Structure 1
Amino acid sequence: MQTRRFPSRIGEINTPEPPLRTVVVGYGYWGPNLVRNVMERPEFELVALCERDLARGQAFSAKVPNVPVIDDLEMILDDDTIDALIVATPPHTHHAICKAALLAGKHVLVEKPLATTTLDALDLVDTANTRDVLLMPGHTFLYSPPVAKVRQLIDRDVLGDMYFVTSARMNLGKYQKDGVICDLAPHDLSILLHWLEEPIVQVAAHGRSVFQSGVPETAFLTVTFAGGTTANIELSWLAPRKVRQMVVVGSRRMVQYDDTAGDEAIRIYDRGMEFETPENFGEYQLTYRSGDIVAPRLEPAEPLSLELQDFARCIRTGATPRSHAYLGLEVVAAMEAAQESLMRGGVPVAVAGISERAVA
């Protein structure tokens, strides 16, 4: 395990730390993006790919011929020179792979969701704490400049009191056997938890399974936060075009986040309604406010690269990453409540409280 080095005397040169020796586990849909970013970031050294599928291993070797492909995870975990694993395997494998890595003393970045059940996610968090290694869920959207901008607007009280949020995340495919909630909901849930910094207390969900029973391709979630803010989330693999849009309605302003809108991904609307109760008997006074629309400038950056930078920084310093383990645990708890509500015909399901919450 790598540790920080500090000068022992004033004027002594602080030798740069060696890169974190890292293995990417899985080379499916997201694995190639992880490999590319690990190789581009100076904080990491990609020492191997762990992949059991021969065709995927060959595809990797054709692009990165000097890095070995290893199909035995135990061989990697037994190597004391390896500092970190980045896991990009199907969600149902996350618990077993990540727990073995944490027990071996490796830092772990695992793609969303952290696990498929709250108990498994909590077990991973406890294991990481016991072994004093970093466990970080890969909620990449938290590192998107537009998402960071909305968080800034909320922190600066530009929007006022949060009333509600609407979100639509739709596309044609990609079909996954775990269902659309497990596939897409973690994105919206993690963004909302990051923005509001409040626990989710209740989830209600409806969905539709078209091609395979028990595998919903479309779902509609109503999420309630501890402070009273509600969010309606629409998820679908059956849509004619790609949609990634969220609207936050506050007492002062409203903001639209459209991830497909390029340079104008964020639009701030100085619009709303003002409601006044009359002092005497009479009609309530309702006035509309319609002001400017502003599209703030956003610095371009690749979210995945920023996520890996945060992962390395927190390994070195012991700091808490933006996408921290307790946020990942809360996402899984809300996702599990949504699945239960779906099976019970849309009945609202309470989200189990998480006793310990890290400060983002």
Structure 2
Amino acid sequence: MEYPLKIAIIGAGYWGKNLIRNAASSASVSLVYVCDLDLRLLERARSNFPFIKTTCDSEDIFKAKDIEAVFIATPVVSHYKLAKRALESSKHVFVEKPMTETSAEARELIELAKKNNLLLHVDHTFIYTGAVRKIKELINADELGEIRYIDSERINLGLIQPDVNVIYDLAVHDLSIFNYILKEKPMSVAAFGKSYVTQNRENPVEEMAHIHLEYPSGTMAHIHIGWLSPVKIRKMLIGGSKKMVLYNDIEPTEKVKVYDHGADLDFKSETPSDVIYRSGDVYIPALERSEALAIEISHFADCAVNGKPSLTGGEEGYEVVRILEATQKILKRNR
């Protein structure tokens, strides 16, 4: 196998069009096929990129001998079936988040990929952003000290999904970031959610939710996700014993700010309960500016061609799905 990796993309909708655009301009992959059930989406793809082949039948892709990898950007309910079919057809897989609906499905895909010596990659795009990589770099260098807490807010107005709740739609991003920047897995999870707009629908979904995670080291993390906010907010606050980080993904340039702020007990005081508050400098680190999806596609191709493990492989996808699954059990129990 060599560059460029010949690929096909199944799903040309909201996220699929971004994959198509980045793949078409990448030197690491060669976009051969695009598949979708919607003829209008295929026409749009052909109009923008006349060199690609299009089809409404995914079997055309699985049977194509020149296709080496399949990108899947379809509703989560179809991820398992399509990814399994691709792996059975000896093709590497790049699957949109979340990896699957259940951890059992995710585990089966992992084992199938291992059996067939194929790459299984999960599209946790934020891991490839300059902002998240810089945060991990700061944590690894111990600039923040012990991570005490992470508080994340990811809210906007819509889009209310027909098949999944807001946790499956938005919390995936936060969970994948937590798993990447922290060196441990959560030992407990709590979840709370409410359905307002869709509560009288046959299949209501939670449009607002909160997730609380506890880690063995003592770190606690909170995620607030919602589809019912009048404004779009994408903020993550990471509190360390030495410094704190504010990550605001809405900011066009200053996405990451590092605060030399904190609070500690004053052990020199005659009163041991006295607290010292530190309010030092704030600095804005330089970040990689390349589009995350372009970096991710190049990484995927490198792993597939050279037999390397992916930064966001099947195991990483499985861990996120495992947490998602736990939240759904809690929500179901509390309904």
Bucket of the pairwise TM-score, normalised by the shorter protein: over 0.9
Find the counterpart in structure 2 of residue 197 from structure 1: 183
Match for 2:330: what amino acid?
S
Do residues 224 (structure 1) and 210 (structure 2) align? Answer: no
Match for 1:54: what amino acid?
L
Do residues 151 (structure 1) and 140 (structure 2) align? Answer: no
Matches within 5 A, 1:282-293: 282-293=271-282
- 1:171 alignment partner, one of 124, 134, 156: 156
Give distance in 1, aligned partners of 2:288 and 2:60.
42
Matches within 5 A, 1:1-360: 2=1, 17-177=2-162, 178-213=164-199, 214-276=204-266, 282-345=271-334
Moved more, 63-72 or 45-54: 63-72
Give the total of aligned pairs. 330
Unaligned runs of 5+ in 2: none
Unaligned runs of 5+ in 1: 3-16, 347-360
Match for 2:124: what amino acid?
H
Give distance in 1, aligned partners of 2:60 and 2:185.
39
Find the counterpart in structure 2 of residue 349 from structure 1: none
Moved more, 323-332 or 283-292: 283-292
Match for 1:114: what amino acid?
M
- Aligned CA-pair RMSD: 1.5
Offset of residue 227 of structure 1: 2.5
Match for 2:90: what amino acid?
G
Give distance in 2, aligned partners of 1:111 and 1:234.
22
SS in 2 for 1:284: coil
Instruction: Give the percent of matched residue pairs that are identical in Structure 1 and Structure 2.
Output: 38
Offset of residue 279 of structure 1: 9.5
Match for 2:130: what amino acid?
P
Give the alignment's TM-score, normalised by structure 1: 0.89
Match for 1:132: what amino acid?
N
Match for 1:265: what amino acid?
K
Give distance in 2, aligned partners of 1:249 and 1:30.
32
Give distance in 1, aligned partners of 2:85 and 2:20.
21
Does structure 1 retain, via aligned residues, the 8 Å contact 2:24–2:49?
Answer: no
Give distance in 2, aligned partners of 1:256 and 1:187.
16
Offset of residue 311 of structure 1: 0.2
SS in 1 for 2:169: helix
Match for 1:324: what amino acid?
G
Match for 2:109: what amino acid?
L
Give distance in 2, aligned partners of 1:266 and 1:188.
16
Match for 2:217: what amino acid?
G
Offset of residue 29 of structure 1: 0.6
